[in-house]
Chain A
Amino acid sequence: MSGETDRGIGRANLEVFAETVEQLAAVDPSLLVVTSDSRGSARLSAFAARMPDRIIEVGIAEQNLVGVAAGLAAGGRRVMAVSPASFLATRSLEQIKHDVCYSDRPVILIGISAGVSYGALGSTHHSLHDFAALRGIHNITVVAPADNWETAEALRAAVSAATPVYIRFGKKPLPHLPRRGSFAFGRGRILREGSDCAFIATGETVWRALEAAQALADSGVSAAVVSMHTVKPLDAELVRAVGRSAAAVVAVEEHSEHGGLGDACARVLLEAGLAPRYRVVAIPDEYTVTGSQEEILSHYGISASGLSRVMSTLLGEG
């Protein structure tokens, strides 16, 4: 790590989640966490031991997890339903649509170990489809925080939100990122200014984009970096501003190349009549190569070197 991400390594967002939940539960007596045999995976065992009346276990039953969460919310509770992102987003997709979003119960859905966090456990455990699945559903905010600070901020914003929120993150320690601007759903954050080109990244790919921007700066290219933590509703105004000022834009996400941030930004740019050179760096339409999260992301170019190479190529075109 160097340059923009040399503020040191933080913890895993998963750890920050567990700590923040406990803080929030201490001040909000209505807060309940519902788990599907996922408390250990979610680092919630200590919370469960200290605040046993704040955790509801439904066992390995994700459909029931989300339905029960909706019912608890209807009964006046503030509820977080916690499960691996892969299962939460689609095993219980119809419960998310009917019982949470359509019925307008402001449940907070926490997708843990998202993207390819589970690495070599394979594609059953990867959530490369959650943005696409949830973007098609009305009345839900879809969030992928980039670092520990954004994770804590997203959780604090979620407990006071009037509508449902889905927050997904991974389980590996992350670098601390520049603390620029405040956090609000639907408002991207410019973490690095740049005049030639821009990365619009989400979730745990953001620090990789910052490293790429630093590498590009070393070769005289000025690249901006946006943390687009909210995939839906998208900060279209910021995407248009980036599209007007940058000759090349690269969208980055730990998600399938279909239906995620890259597609969403492309639509905004085209509808605004903006045509910067544009690439989406995401997981291609295939079941991934096997390996650790880092190995998989690097293989598909979601790394400092991969991203700076794509940007250089894009700027050299035309």
Chain B
Amino acid sequence: MTLAELKRKSRYYRQEILTFIYQAGAGHTGGSLSCIDIINVLYNAVMDIRPENWNSLQRDVYIQSKGHSVEALYVVLADLGFFERAELGTANRFRTRLIGHPTRKVPGIEHNTGGLGHGLSVALGMALAAKLDRRSSRVFCLLGDGELGEGSNWEAALSAAHYKLDNLIAVVDRNGLQITGSTAQVNDLEPLERKWSAFGWAVRRIDGHDIAKLVQALGGLPFARGRPGVLVADTVKGRGVSFIEGQVEWHHKVPSREQYELAMRELEMPS
């Protein structure tokens, strides 16, 4: 996919996320808009995951540890044909498969997440299994930045470096906000690159909304032979909609009809 096509996809996915959350009357608006460029690039330009190879152990693997931003994943999976786009309209209804966190009941979802600090250990186990069985598949794990407060991430970080898992790639959606306020105010994470680096990981840091830079960084894996890689992607919570960007209260706020229409108009304009 060309950069122009990827950029069009990102704009389309943002519209789909807004529509999904507006129709469902629930969702994590800010975090889904901050990580959608990352998920777009992973599925459309980096990872080998398709409905056709889903049952193969040879393919790549994606674990979304920040499970609450599941809307961003649902719209991409529907676009790739893992399930019908029409099913997006069932979100949050009684007996829907599309609940507010990822589950394996939904085609294309690898692991049930929602409790924070779980995904990296599971991704590590899958990357280790691939290495032991000499499979070339790579395991990608999307982490929230606020999520890094969970100590279990750092248990996994130690262990992944110990096993030299260069087929494991974590991407941190560094939007700088969590439900209470900024990560700097709540539980300061910086210097974040030095923390990962001290744990033995190869670290890159880029603008997480720059499609070209995402493609370039994630296209050049591993970052270092024999070391797990982490991409710290600096993002903006709510990116793409002016009145949602950087606003703490939009963590899981649902747009009113007026706000939804306004947001959709903003997203129609080429950025």
Residues of A in contact with B (beta carbons under 8 Å apart): 32, 53, 56, 58-59, 61, 63-64, 66-77, 94-95, 98-99, 102-104
CB < 8 Å: which of B112, B129, B162 contacts A75? B129
A32 to B121, CA, bound (A): 16
Residues on A with beta carbons closer than 8 Å to the beta carbon of B128: 56, 68, 71-72, 75
Given contacts A94-B115, A98-B112, contact A61 B155 (CB under 8 A): yes
Does the CB pair B115–A58 fall under 8 Å? Answer: no
Residues on B with beta carbons closer than 8 Å to the beta carbon of A72: 125-126, 128-129
Does the CB pair B125–A69 fall under 8 Å? Answer: yes
Does the CB pair A64–B156 fall under 8 Å? Answer: yes
Closest 8 CB pairs of A and B: A71-B125, A67-B121, A75-B129, A64-B155, A61-B155, A68-B125, A71-B122, A63-B152
Answer whether residue B123 sits at the interface, using C-beta atoms and an 8 A cutoff. Answer: yes
For A66, the closest partner residue in chain B by CB is B121
A59 to B159, CA, bound (A): 8
Given contacts A61-B155, A68-B159, contact A75 B125 (CB under 8 A): yes
Chain B, interface size category, equals 20 to 34
Answer whether residue B66 sits at the interface, using C-beta atoms and an 8 A cutoff. Answer: no
Answer whether residue B130 sits at the interface, using C-beta atoms and an 8 A cutoff. Answer: yes
Does the CB pair B111–A74 fall under 8 Å? Answer: yes
Residues on A with beta carbons closer than 8 Å to the beta carbon of B57: 75-76
Answer whether residue B184 sits at the interface, using C-beta atoms and an 8 A cutoff. Answer: no
Given contacts A67-B118, A103-B112, contact A58 B126 (CB under 8 A): no
Does the CB pair B125–A70 fall under 8 Å? Answer: yes
A63 to B110, CA, bound (A): 20
Does the CB pair A77–B129 fall under 8 Å? Answer: yes
Residues on B with beta carbons closer than 8 Å to the beta carbon of A99: 111-112, 118, 121-122
A70 to B128, CA, bound (A): 11
Kindly provide the distance from the CB of B61 to the nearest chain A CB, expressed in whole angstroms. 8
Does the CB pair B159–A58 fall under 8 Å? Answer: yes
Task: With a 10 A CB-CB cut-off, give which of A32, A68, A102 has the most chain B CB atoms.
Answer: A68
Kindly provide the distance from the CB of B36 to the nearest chain A CB, expressed in whole angstroms. 24
Kindly provide the distance from the CB of B109 to the nearest chain A CB, expressed in whole angstroms. 10
Residues on A with beta carbons closer than 8 Å to the beta carbon of B112: 98-99, 102-103
Kindly provide the distance from the CB of B165 to the nearest chain A CB, expressed in whole angstroms. 11
Residues on A with beta carbons closer than 8 Å to the beta carbon of B235: none
Residues on A with beta carbons closer than 8 Å to the beta carbon of B5: none
Kindly provide the distance from the CB of A220 to the nearest chain B CB, expressed in whole angstroms. 57
Residues on A with beta carbons closer than 8 Å to the beta carbon of B114: 98
CB < 8 Å: which of A53, A98, A104 contacts B118? A98
Residues of B in contact with A (beta carbons under 8 Å apart): 57, 103-104, 110-115, 117-118, 120-130, 132-133, 151-152, 155-156, 158-159, 162
Does the CB pair B111–A103 fall under 8 Å? Answer: yes
Kindly provide the distance from the CB of A79 to the nearest chain B CB, expressed in whole angstroms. 8
Does the CB pair B158–A74 fall under 8 Å? Answer: no
Write 22 A-B pairs (CB below 8 A) sorted by A numbering. Answer: A59-B159, A59-B162, A61-B158, A63-B152, A67-B125, A67-B156, A68-B122, A68-B125, A70-B121, A71-B122, A71-B126, A72-B125, A74-B126, A75-B125, A75-B130, A94-B118, A95-B121, A98-B112, A99-B122, A102-B103, A103-B112, A103-B122
A59 to B130, CA, bound (A): 21
Task: With a 10 A CB-CB cut-off, give which of A66, A67, A76 has the most chain B CB atoms.
Answer: A67
A64 to B128, CA, bound (A): 13
Does the CB pair A59–B124 fall under 8 Å? Answer: no
Kindly provide the distance from the CB of B264 to the nearest chain A CB, expressed in whole angstroms. 35
Kindly provide the distance from the CB of A100 to the nearest chain B CB, expressed in whole angstroms. 10
A67 to B120, CA, bound (A): 8
A146 to B117, CA, bound (A): 36
Task: With a 10 A CB-CB cut-off, give which of A95, A103, A104 has the most chain B CB atoms.
Answer: A103
A155 to B14, CA, bound (A): 50
Does the CB pair B122–A74 fall under 8 Å? Answer: yes
For B150, the closest partner residue in chain A by CB is A63
Kindly provide the distance from the CB of B157 to the nearest chain A CB, expressed in whole angstroms. 9
Residues on B with beta carbons closer than 8 Å to the beta carbon of A73: 125
Residues on B with beta carbons closer than 8 Å to the beta carbon of A75: 57, 125-126, 128-130, 133
CB < 8 Å: which of B103, B123, B133, B155 contacts A63? B155
Given contacts A67-B122, A71-B122, A76-B133, 11 further A-B contacts (CB under 8 A): A69-B125, A71-B127, A73-B125, A74-B111, A94-B118, A95-B118, A95-B121, A98-B113, A98-B115, A103-B112, A103-B122
CB < 8 Å: which of B104, B111, B113, B152 contacts A64? B152
A99 to B132, CA, bound (A): 21
